[in-house]
Structure 1
Amino acid sequence: MAQTVEFHGTVVSDAHLDTENIHVINQTSQRYTTTNKDGHFKMVAKLNDTIMFSSIQFVPKSIVISTELMQSKILLVHLEEQINVLNEVLVGKVLTGDLLSDIQNTEGKAPINFYDVGIVGYTGKQATQSERRLHEATTGGGFMPLNPILNGISGRTKEIKEHVRIERKDALMRRIRSGLSDEFFVLNPLDEDVRMDYFYFCMDDKDFMNACNNKTDLEVLVFMEKKYVQYVQNRTQNKN
């Protein structure tokens, strides 16, 4: 029974929460892995090893490898949602619902920011969710240096980079549509029901970001007019 076997496991949540990137740790042998997007994982263990499952959104759970598990080589793990219950706290003065009365009954002070206490703070553009995931996947987020290696092997980093690229293209096209659509379609008529299709046609061009990102309105319009000619030609050919 000292034999070491590879277990195939699945983590599931009764609350139907995301079970990707759950930490799976063999505390006995100090082996480590994470679950994939479907909650699946593989872990090598032997009899009486303790397997720990840990994540921010779930209650930690430990499983001791038994004789029955050694024979089945399958781990099905149910995790409970981590719910933090706070005691009821009364902050400030009680409000009545009468706006004029409540205004007179409250005291407001300007919030303290990092400049007030002499701390240098970040004032740049806030990252999107995909950009934050990409930073964590490629740097470990400052906490888990194993993440960049594991994500590189699994291909997760490449997948997140693709999400970031698509998000940036979509955000750029939304800015172009809101700022230049009216002016563009006055000189380049196109039916309302195909205008969105035209914009996707522009986005699909491999030079879309280089031609339009951080460019002047005139440069963007030149690119859009070139794609407009191609789009109209394609529609004409398809009709014929």
Structure 2
Amino acid sequence: MNKVVCVFFVFLANNLLAQVGVSPVVKGKVDVNAMDLEGIYVVNLKTEASVVTDAEGVFAIPAKIGDTLVFSSVQFKERRVILTDENFVSANFSVRMEPAMNQLREVIIKRYDNINAVALGIIPAGQRSYTAAERKLKAATSLDPTATAGTMAGGSISADPLLNLFSGRSKMLKKELAVEKKEIFMQLLENMFDTDHFVRKLSIPVDYVKGFEYFAIENESFTKILNSKNKTTTEFLLGELAVKYKEIIARENN
């Protein structure tokens, strides 16, 4: 009987010693407004044990009451938590973290007007630059004497311009170019004069301002002056066009 009791106490003592040597594990979850929470470091400062969270922010690390856990990641602010007994028994132990906002103190925008295609030697100085619509039209209508698609009038030319002519593509591209030019003129006009100018100085009703702008850019003489960017001359001609436009409005309203 005494032998049985001794064996029992020896077994119990070994079991207690084993339990003393094993550190408890605290389990929890990182709580933050982010889609991917994987890879957040969790470090026990006392034991230097470390783990990383999974994609849902869940972690489990050996620790004891009073240990300090450090949560750190590149995209989040560092957070330190001193463990209490509640952290070990709570099934909803969560650690709130905030995204790291790297705010710039100052943004300086520099203009380099001297850096352009001419300065870099990409195109020769003085060469005319073409818009996208102009390049399309030029490519569709120009005869290339170096092409070998066929022979006509004693020279070798490309058949593409002729095909574009018969298919109506050249006509379509001309319309596209005309629309693009009107858009450019409209932008120039709106950059030079705001809506208040048309309403207050030219007495154009505010609901008719946009129509007056289209009316003005349809005038070829006006667009030539507008393209010169001479504001004084442009404003004078706008006054004359405004008189005509208001007469049209009056006739339509009668």
Asked which structure has the greater CA Rg, the reply is 2
TM over 0.5: no
**Which structure has the higher relative contact order (CA within 8 Å, separation 6+)?**
1
TM-score, normalised relative to structure 1: 0.45
TM-score, normalised relative to structure 2: 0.42
